[in-house]
Amino acid sequence: MMQSTLPYLSLAIWLPILFGAFILAFGRDDNPGLVRGVSLLGSVVSFLVTLPLIQKFDNAAHGMQFVEKTEWIGRFNIFYHLGVDGLSLWFVPLTAFITVIVVISAWEVIEKRVSQYMGAFLILSGAMIGVFCAVDAMLFFVFFEATLIPMFIIIGVWGGPNRVYAALKFFLYTFFGSLLMLVALLFLYNKSGGSFDILTWHKLPLAMGTQILIFLAFLMAFAVKVPMWPVHTWLPDAHVEAPTGGSVVLAAIMLKLGGYGFLRFSLPVTPDASHYLAPFVITLSLIAVIYIGLVALVQADMKKLVAYSSIAHMGFVTLGFFVFNDMGVQGAVMQMISHGFVSAAMFLCIGVLYDRVHSREIADYGGVVNVMPRFATFFVLFSLANCGLPATSGFVGEFMVILGSVQFNFWIGLLAATALIFGAAYSLWLVKRVAFGEVKHPHVAALADLNTREFLMLGVLAIAVIVMGVWPAPVTDTLQTSVADLLKHVSVSKLAQ
């Protein structure tokens, strides 16, 4: 492990939480401009402190880097133990970056309870970064559960007409899965002789039956979070009712907590069960990729279409994890990072239209390019990235997962590749019906193009999508050592130890 000189990870976690708490305590609705300014300052500073992680990260080093470890609850051997490796590194700046975008996106849109809205997102940002940095399992669980509270409030307070139903469904689904994970964590704590250290758990010799039960407990928690078919039904409701910022964070970051959980817990703690149950997980992943892609095709609501496309894209992620080769796992992580940019951009584009027309129905649009050419340019770019166009970030991860799947089994790779057709179908059909054609509605003819704020937030995301698409090396280089170590560990049977 590489010890950190400065507590970069603690700064990344606690700076947004402290800014959020300050805004909640002292922010006043009669001065929303000041609240917005402090929120933007907090989010930008929180993002800037994550950049040294990328600069100082040693791609060749094994194990955790930037480690911080302090006793937290000594009686139960629980530590405030933080660290990142190649698997978790990029999610820290990605989370902070998306938070900056969310604050900018809400600048003129949120007019009531501005301090509570901004404070909730900043606190949520810190909690999500905590999940990616935690090396102590109980610390991981605390942050994992803490993310539910701000998102529950965001959907329930600033959401649409059915916001309470959607918020409760989101909370109950994810909380139920987490209870089973807690049981698994406590079992592993006792099995390891009283340690919550995740890296120690990776070395535990567990019988196959035990591994399968633990794997299934983790699967329930992480599958709901991803979400995998058939426990995905909470996501479209949550997206439709959530405000734009809520949808952005939910798709860009919160879904990744489940995917990350597979990498940190399921695969290394229960490697034999992972191999044994891989056909089951691959089947669920292919159903998500193919069936959910078809479901996306028939959606009349733009948000629902993009929500279902998120489920299909996350199917590529879980597929990549369980083909057990470098290409598949690296591609899955690349897909998670890319989806963070692309899904955020798609929901922001829908938010731009909704702010003007107050409708998400595809039928209420058409010919937008005639009155909003700058917006249509971004919308087409992000839609093409969503369906995996080469030279965009969306292509890199999906292509690597398909290559890894072909190495594992040709027919699985072929089925995964056919899903790209469905992705192109629903993405391009959305563009055709919303952006192109003649202007059919008077409210579309009256639309104003992007203002400076909107152009800035979409422009930054467009740069990220294109740069990652044409130059993925900075990300793949940081992944190689950690992915190789993980696969080497997973390939060695614990039953033979």
Domain that holds residue 489: 147-496
Q: Are residues 289 and 258 in the same domain?
A: yes
User: How much is the average pLDDT of 90-101?
Assistant: 93
Number of structural domains found in the chain: 2
Report helix, strand and coil shares of the chain as percent, to nearest 5: 75, 5, 20
Q: Are residues 67 and 137 in the same domain?
A: yes
pLDDT digits (tens, 9 = 90+) for 434-479: 888 888 888 878 888 888 888 999 999 999 999 999 999 888 899 8
What is the DSSP track for 401-425? HHHHHHHH-HHHHHHHHHHHHHHHH
Q: Which residues make Cβ contacts (< 8 Å) with residue 210, sequence separation at least 6?
A: none
How many Cβ atoms are within 10 Å of 355's Cβ, its own excluded?
13
pLDDT digits (tens, 9 = 90+) for 201-248: 888 888 888 899 999 999 988 888 888 888 788 788 888 888 888 889
Measured distance CA(78)–CA(398) in Å, rounded? 38
**Tokens at residue 38, please?**
């402090």
Residue 161: predicted pLDDT: 81
Residue 173: predicted pLDDT: 84
User: How much is the average pLDDT of 289-298?
Assistant: 86
User: How much is the average pLDDT of 384-407?
Assistant: 88
Handedness of CA 461, 465, 470, 472 (dihedral sign): positive
User: How much is the average pLDDT of 316-333?
Assistant: 90
E strand or H helix at 68, and its extent?
Answer: strand 65-73
Measured distance CA(431)–CA(378) in Å, rounded? 11
Q: Are residues 256 and 319 in the same domain?
A: yes
User: How much is the average pLDDT of 85-100?
Assistant: 92
Q: Which residues make Cβ contacts (< 8 Å) with residue 322, sequence separation at least 6?
A: 274, 278, 281, 282, 285, 328
Residue 274 near residue 318 (C-beta atoms within 8 A): no
> Residue 496: pLDDT above 60?
no
Measured distance CA(313)–CA(307) in Å, rounded? 10
Residue 212: predicted pLDDT: 92
Q: Are residues 330 and 205 in the same domain?
A: yes
Q: Are residues 34 and 74 in the same domain?
A: yes
Last residue of a domain, one of 109, 124, 146: 146
Q: Are residues 83 and 180 in the same domain?
A: no
> Residue 4: pLDDT above 60?
no
Question: Model confidence at 175, in pLDDT bands (50, 70, 90)?
Answer: confident
Is there a cis peptide before residue 205, judged by omega within 30 degrees of 0?
no
Q: Is the pTM of this model over 0.85?
A: yes
Q: How far is CA 6 from CA 2, 220, 278, in A?
A: 12, 37, 40
Q: Which residues make Cβ contacts (< 8 Å) with residue 6, sequence separation at least 6?
A: 52
Last residue of a domain, one of 128, 146, 164: 146
Question: Model confidence at 359, in pLDDT bands (50, 70, 90)?
Answer: confident
Residue 490 near residue 324 (C-beta atoms within 8 A): yes
Q: Are residues 170 and 140 in the same domain?
A: no
Q: Which residue has the tokens 């989370």?
A: 95
Residue 495: predicted pLDDT: 55
Measured distance CA(51)–CA(8) in Å, rounded? 9
What is the DSSP track for 438-478? ---SHHHHT-----HHHHHHHHHHHHHHHHHHH--HHHHHH
Q: Are residues 358 and 273 in the same domain?
A: yes
E strand or H helix at 298, and its extent?
Answer: none
Q: Are residues 367 and 487 in the same domain?
A: yes
pLDDT digits (tens, 9 = 90+) for 116-132: 888 999 999 999 999 99
Backbone angles phi, psi at 136, to 5 degrees: -90, 130
Residue 243: predicted pLDDT: 86
Residue 494: predicted pLDDT: 54
Is there a cis peptide before residue 52, judged by omega within 30 degrees of 0?
no
Strand segments (E) across 192-342: none
Query: What letters, b where the CB count within 10 A reaches 16 and e where it falls short, cover 106-120?
Result: bbebbeebbbbbbbb
Residue 131: predicted pLDDT: 93
Beta partners for residue 73, in sequence order: 78
In the chain, DSSP finds a helix count (H) and a strand count (E) of 23, 2
Q: Are residues 155 and 139 in the same domain?
A: no
Query: What letters, b where the CB count within 10 A reaches 16 and e where it falls short, cover 66-83?
Result: bbbbeebeeeebbbebbb
User: How much is the average pLDDT of 269-287?
Assistant: 90
Nearest Cα residue to 169 out of 148, 183, 184, 150: 148
pLDDT digits (tens, 9 = 90+) for 27-75: 777 777 888 888 899 999 999 999 999 898 888 888 888 888 888 887 8
> Residue 369: pLDDT above 60?
yes
Q: Which residue has the tokens 């000189």?
A: 5
Residue 332 near residue 401 (C-beta atoms within 8 A): yes
Q: Are residues 239 and 121 in the same domain?
A: no
Question: Model confidence at 1, in pLDDT bands (50, 70, 90)?
Answer: very low
Burial of 161 (0-12, 13-18, 19+ CB in 10 A): exposed
Report the chain's mean pLDDT, rounded to a whole number.
87
Residue 423: predicted pLDDT: 83
Q: Are residues 128 and 241 in the same domain?
A: no
Residue 492: predicted pLDDT: 67
Residue 63 near residue 84 (C-beta atoms within 8 A): no
Last residue of a domain, one of 146, 162, 184: 146
